[in-house]
């Protein structure tokens, strides 16, 4: 076990401009010399969907290396921790190699984070799995969600590391009305998306369920929205720019913006606000 010492520690609220209505991430700004066991122990203790650790990069193009842990294990990539950790690093005095962007190294590779006036945006990494879900898995999801297959407009693997799959329902209300029995899909990483009425502030409602990572329902999920954004914008099922609301069923009010460049790069953006600054002994 690592000898305890005091390190800078922050918590960042991501994807909401209203205080404490987004998705928090805990960030240890100096993860040097911590073991995997140390990191996992803290992630279980914070009991947030993710806890991250900032380390010196191993790639010359990167500004820092990020390791991302859920209460149950490490992820190669995750969205809201990417934005929250970038904000924490900047807030802690980090100076990127390029004024307009940060380059994060993680197990999934290099991820570019673009800096705006009050928002950050990450470039969606490539999916490691796509295509339609197989019938057996779709049947399990439908049973867990308590719906029939006829209500599923489309379905897709949108996995950029965590293992995400998604189903598309006709309306946001159908998504919000879901009462999933996650005991039927205990290892799943799955979401549901449905459209809000035309003229609404947001185009879609998203919910993401991650029992496989020890998170029954994630308040706001950047990696899921990244993969879904690549899917929907590339197929014409969504415009090149749209907004997603998430978290209503768990008392949050997240707002996530998706924008696809002409070259197909999908950017996921949102607010990221440091809410807690201090130190932690690990």
pLDDT confidence band for 3 (50 / 70 / 90): confident
The residue to which tokens 């190699």 are assigned: 97
Do 18 and 115 belong to one domain? yes
Question: What does the alpha-carbon distance between residue 21 and residue 249 come to, in Å, rounded to a whole number?
Answer: 12
Do 152 and 244 belong to one domain? yes
> Which of 1, 70, 65, 77 is CA-nearest to residue 33?
1
Could you give the count of Cα atoms lying within 13 Å of 180 in the half-sphere of its Cβ? 26
Kindly report the CATH number assigned to the domain that includes residue 101: 3.10.310.10
- Whether the pLDDT of residue 1 is over 70: the answer is no
CA triple 139-140-141, angle to 5 deg? 90
Q: What are phi and psi of 34, to 5 degrees?
A: -80, 140
pLDDT (0 to 100) of residue 240? 98
> Which of 280, 72, 215 is CA-nearest to residue 207?
215
Interacting residues of 258 by C-beta distance below 8 A, sequence separation 6+ = 225, 229, 233, 238, 241, 242, 243, 244, 266, 267, 268
Do 115 and 183 belong to one domain? no
Interacting residues of 183 by C-beta distance below 8 A, sequence separation 6+ = none
pLDDT-above-90 percentage for the chain: 97
Catalytic residue from among 50, 205, 217, 257: 50
Do 214 and 248 belong to one domain? yes
pTM for the model stands at 0.96
Question: What does the alpha-carbon distance between residue 88 and residue 104 come to, in Å, rounded to a whole number?
Answer: 13
Do 153 and 119 belong to one domain? no
Mean pLDDT, range 26-46, rounded to an integer: 97
Q: What is the pLDDT of residues 187-240, one digit of tens each?
A: 999 999 999 999 999 999 999 999 999 999 999 999 999 999 999 999 999 999
Do 108 and 142 belong to one domain? no
Structure tokens at 168: 């598309």
pLDDT (0 to 100) of residue 116? 84
Residue 105 is a catalytic residue: no
Structure tokens at 276: 């807690």
Tell whether 276 is covered by a domain: yes
Q: Reduce the DSSP state of residue 53 to 3 states and report it.
A: strand
Mean pLDDT, range 142-163, rounded to an integer: 97
Question: What does the alpha-carbon distance between residue 96 and residue 86 come to, in Å, rounded to a whole number?
Answer: 10
Tell whether 130 is covered by a domain: no
pLDDT (0 to 100) of residue 118? 82
Tell whether 264 is covered by a domain: no
Q: Could you say which DSSP state residue 129 is in?
A: B
Do 14 and 120 belong to one domain? yes
Q: What is the pLDDT of residues 77-111, one digit of tens each?
A: 999 999 999 999 999 999 999 999 999 999 999 99
- Whether the pLDDT of residue 2 is over 80: the answer is no
Do 85 and 173 belong to one domain? no
Could you give the count of Cα atoms lying within 13 Å of 51 in the half-sphere of its Cβ? 22
Do 221 and 112 belong to one domain? no
Q: What are phi and psi of 181, to 5 degrees?
A: -100, 95
Q: What are phi and psi of 178, to 5 degrees?
A: -60, 135
Tell whether 261 is covered by a domain: no
Tell whether 263 is covered by a domain: no
Q: Reduce the DSSP state of residue 276 to 3 states and report it.
A: strand
Do 224 and 114 belong to one domain? no
Do 141 and 196 belong to one domain? yes
Q: What are phi and psi of 233, to 5 degrees?
A: -75, -30
Tell whether 31 is covered by a domain: yes
Tally of domains within the chain: 2
Tell whether 181 is covered by a domain: yes
Domain with 175, as residue range(s), is 135-253
Do 155 and 177 belong to one domain? yes
Tell whether 156 is covered by a domain: yes
> Which of 234, 232, 210 is CA-nearest to residue 220?
210
Q: What is the pLDDT of residues 160-183, one digit of tens each?
A: 999 999 999 999 999 999 999 999
pLDDT confidence band for 117 (50 / 70 / 90): confident
């Amino acid at each position: 076990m690592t000898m305890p010492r005091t390190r800078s520690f922050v918590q960042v609220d991501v994807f909401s401009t209203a205080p404490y209505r987004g998705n928090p991430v805990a960030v240890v700004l100096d993860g040097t010399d911590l073991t995997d066991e140390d990191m996992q122990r803290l992630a279980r203790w914070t009991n947030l969907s993710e806890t991250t650790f900032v380390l010196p990069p191993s790639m010359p193009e990167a500004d820092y290396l990020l390791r991302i842990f859920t209460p149950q294990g490490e992820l190669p990539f995750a969205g809201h921790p990417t934005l929250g950790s970038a904000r924490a690093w900047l807030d802690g005095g980090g100076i990127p190699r390029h004024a307009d962007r940060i380059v994060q190294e993680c197990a999934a590779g290099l991820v570019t984070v673009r800096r705006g006036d009050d928002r950050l945006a990450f470039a969606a990494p490539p999916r490691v799995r796509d295509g339609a879900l197989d019938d057996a898995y779709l049947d399990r999801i439908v049973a867990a969600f308590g719906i029939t297959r006829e209500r599923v407009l489309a379905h897709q693997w949108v996995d950029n590391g965590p293992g995400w799959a998604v189903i598309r329902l006709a309306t946001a209300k159908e998504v919000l009305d879901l009462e999933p029995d996650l005991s039927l899909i205990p290892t799943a990483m799955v979401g549901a998306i449905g459209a809000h009425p035309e003229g609404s502030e947001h185009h879609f409602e998203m919910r993401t369920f991650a029992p496989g990572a020890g998170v029954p329902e994630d308040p706001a999920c950047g990696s899921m929205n990244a993969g879904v954004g690549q899917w929907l914008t590339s197929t014409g099922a969504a415009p090149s720019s749209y907004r997603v609301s998430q978290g209503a069923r768990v008392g949050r009010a997240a707002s996530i913006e998706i924008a696809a460049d002409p070259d197909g790069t999908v950017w996921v953006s949102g607010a990221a606000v440091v809410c807690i600054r201090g130190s932690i002994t690990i």
